[in-house]
């Protein structure tokens, strides 16, 4: 799906940011859990400064957010492409089997796009 209007761009970016927030929260939780395990079992990790521990958890969160954001963006594009294909299929079906003429259907799709 091509993003051609500014409203499409806004919707796509909102959806991608939603994915980033969800992914960052999920993977930051994984990072905190991994940090707690390392703190429990590795003495060298206990001696590590809190700034570096925070950095490790932050890396988990940012990486997970980037991954999930990309997944959400791909799904948004696929959903838009599927909607366009469904609309075109309905239009062709109505031309072949329906009561409406092709001109009326084109006018209906132009009105729906506007």
% of the chain beyond a pLDDT of 70: 83
* Distance separating alpha carbons of residues 106 and 87, to the nearest angstrom: 11
- pTM value is 0.68
Looking at residue 9, its pLDDT comes to 84
Distance, in Å, from the CA atom of 71 to the CA atom of 91, rounded to the nearest integer, reads 30
| 18 contacts: CB under 8 Å, gap ≥ 6 | 72
Lowest mean pLDDT segment, chosen from 7-11, 15-19, 61-65, 100-104: 100-104
Q: Which residue has the tokens 């799709």?
A: 109
pLDDT tens-digit series, residues 51-88: 999 999 999 999 999 999 999 999 988 887 788 888 88
């Amino acid at each position: 799906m091509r993003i051609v209007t500014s409203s499409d761009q806004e919707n796509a970016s909102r959806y991608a940011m939603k994915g980033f927030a969800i992914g960052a929260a999920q993977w930051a939780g994984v990072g905190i859990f991994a940090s707690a395990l390392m703190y429990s079992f590795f003495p060298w990790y206990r001696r590590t400064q809190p700034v570096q521990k925070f950095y490790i958890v932050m890396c988990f969160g940012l990486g997970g957010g980037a991954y999930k954001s990309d997944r959400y963006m791909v799904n948004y594009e696929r959903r838009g492409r599927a909607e366009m294909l469904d609309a075109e299929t309905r239009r062709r079906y109505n031309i072949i089997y329906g009561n409406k003429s092709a001109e009326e259907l084109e006018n209906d799709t132009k009105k729906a796009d506007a």
